[in-house]
Chains A and B, each alone.
Chain A
Amino acid sequence: MTDSRPIDSVVLVKQVPDTHHITGDAMTRDGTMNRSALPAIFNPEDLNALEMAVQIRERHGGTVSVITMGPPKAANILRESLWRGADRVVLLTDRRFAGADTLATSVVLQKAVEKIGRYDLILAGRQAIDGDTAQVGPQTAEKLGIPQITYAESILEIAGGRITARRALDSGSEIVRCQMPCLLTVVGSANMPRPPSVRRQIAGKLAATPGEYAAIRKQWPEFETDGALEEHLTAHDLRIPVWTADDIGVTADSIGLAGSPTQVHKVNFVILESTESKTIQPTPEAIAAMVAELVHEYIVG
């Protein structure tokens, strides 16, 4: 038995530096970060969360909204979200959001979700690859006063205002049933996110925040004024709204660096301890000598 009632989902996503493919170029000689050497990508498990939300809509109807907090260029992953099936997207950007730790981030997400209004489910990736903390989901759920299902791998049923899901844990698994609204964090094994749809990409190629109008008009000079472009985008649901701290009603002391209880005391560029070491040639003789030494020292054998 499935509910005939449509399910409205809000998906929390993040643009992250691609730390999995970090190269030597990412660090400069003096130990500072060369950010341009790191491509910014859609956080992988957030794609699983988006895919889950789209599948829920396919089954139950309803809507999929996607929000992200980040710099203006995070609009890229919102465009991608539209191409991957989101109905609406919102960019939360404001200088005052900068420097937020997980707690200060969850304050902004809470207020943004509340501004969106009605929802049954909130979905987010289990964790973001730039910090691997897995904290923002539960912290947002706590602030919204709703229960959470972390490490969600599959949804078994949505019925009677409740969701039944399977949690994938290191030590096994759990099947839980939870009242909605609730928040799910989704693991990477949950599904295979579908690629952006070509049809949606063509229809949505102009999707933009107001801050991007100038760049778009340079490429498409037929829009002679920002107003003309805005009219076109609004008519086609392609205008990506931008919400600032004032729009969502958060106080400056609860967000960004000021709202973050954790502070970075110091950052050390990793200096490796030098170990007494031997270089072994990749030849059978040298390898055999190394093994003999390890046997002699009772390390092996």
Chain B
Amino acid sequence: MTDRKSIWVSIEHTDGRIADVSLELTGKARDLADQLGYEVVGLVCGYEVDELAWEVIRHGADRVLLADHPELAHYRTLPYARIAITEARKRRPEIFLVGGTPNGRDFAPRVASALRCGLTADCTELQIGDYHVRREGRTYKDLLYQIRPAFGGNLVATIVNPNTRPQMATVREGVMRMPAADPSRMGVVEPVTSEFEPGDFALEVLSREVRHSTVRLKDAPVIVSGGAGISDADEFALLRELANLLGGEVGASRAAVDAGMIGREYQVGQTGTTVRPRLYIAAGISGAVQHRAGMDESSKIIAINTDPNAPIFQIAHYRVVGDAAEVLPMIIKAVRERAIDGRAAE
């Protein structure tokens, strides 16, 4: 154990593979720790998972706390939370980051409640900064700025936890960039003992079905997304046709998902997937900040909307004011003709 201040990252894993979001957060923790002179600590709970600990170190951690126990083989709220709560009370991390997966969102509030500390969900940015409280006449130094859209996405709020530790935040997969692994990076793997209480095993997992998502929005070079302005399945089929033609994927805004046009795994945005494709086509998407937060780093953005004042136009490179049902076939036709011309020129 050291007295160095630390930033912790909860490492989620399934079938011997670390979730991307955990490594992305390890990379972000490294950046923040370097600004502050802190240590990055990965918390790994599992069974026979010491190889995962080294992978966390290669992605930027200085230390891994490894709780290795048969009861920890699969995620369960209470045993996993028990380890985190016990170790956090002992070692007092400054910051604790958790992936915004279903199980991360199950785990983080349980831990935050026990530690009586603040927790901010689905942050889209994390920074270090000071917080001045006029009525106390004091400035809190080096707090974690937990930045997230708020209130239907019309506002972006910066949340701080001045008085409680750790400062906890969850972040969705793809929001932070995946750091490159450094095979020569050194670190310490420190086993921690698992002391459970009988109540920790009140829940048993009877069966588990892992579905490996075939949707790889995060890596798609082109994404053609539809929103509330796509009124029926026929129009949605146009998105698919164009996406296939461009070698990309279909995406959707929350409105389209809520309307049942497409599954939630296709949702782009703060509470869906964050994407950075070469080309993003937003068809009938007005562009609430939660959606923009998930796609505004796309290299090129084409927005198609009937409302000339739709916020999506303010970040678009190409603004097409018109009905997606009419404009999409024009794009499809133009792409097809280019493809034919291209072949003819060869």
Interface residues of A (CB under 8 A from B): 17, 19-20, 22, 24, 26-27, 33, 38, 101-103, 106, 130-139, 141-143, 145, 147-151, 164, 167, 169-179, 182, 260-270, 272-284, 287-288, 290-292, 294-295, 297, 299-301
Contacts of A280 in B (CB 8 A): 318-320
Contact assessment for B338 and A33 in the assembled complex, using a CB-CB cutoff below 8 Å: no
A-B contact pairs, 25 of them (CB 8 A): A17-B151, A19-B153, A102-B109, A103-B113, A103-B118, A130-B151, A131-B121, A138-B77, A138-B106, A139-B113, A147-B203, A167-B102, A171-B14, A175-B206, A175-B208, A263-B161, A267-B157, A268-B158, A270-B311, A275-B316, A281-B320, A282-B323, A288-B330, A288-B334, A300-B246
Partner of B102, one of A169, A261, A263, A301: A169
Q: Looking at B102, B119, B149, B159, which has the most chain A CB atoms within 10 Å of its CB? A: B102
**Chain A nearest CB, measured from B14 CB (Å):** 7
Partner of A139, one of B102, B109, B209, B317: B109
- Asked if A103 meets B119 with Cβ closer than 8 Å, knowing A27-B154, A172-B211, A261-B161, the reply is yes
Partner of B154, one of A133, A266, A269: A269
Contact assessment for A300 and B279 in the assembled complex, using a CB-CB cutoff below 8 Å: yes
Residues in B107-154 with C-beta less than 8 Å from chain A? 108-110, 112-114, 116-122, 129, 131, 145-146, 149-154
Whole-angstrom distance between the alpha carbons of A139 and B111 in the complex?
8
Contact assessment for B118 and A270 in the assembled complex, using a CB-CB cutoff below 8 Å: no
Contact assessment for B113 and A106 in the assembled complex, using a CB-CB cutoff below 8 Å: yes
Give the dominant DSSP class at A's interface. mixed
Partner of B203, one of A135, A179, A262, A299: A179
Whole-angstrom distance between the alpha carbons of A217 and B152 in the complex?
37
Partner of A299, one of B14, B153, B300: B300
**Chain B nearest CB, measured from A77 CB (Å):** 19
- Asked if A142 meets B159 with Cβ closer than 8 Å, knowing A169-B103, A177-B204, the reply is no
Residues in B309-331 with C-beta less than 8 Å from chain A? 309, 311, 313-323, 326-327, 330-331
Contact assessment for B161 and A19 in the assembled complex, using a CB-CB cutoff below 8 Å: no
Contact assessment for B159 and A265 in the assembled complex, using a CB-CB cutoff below 8 Å: yes
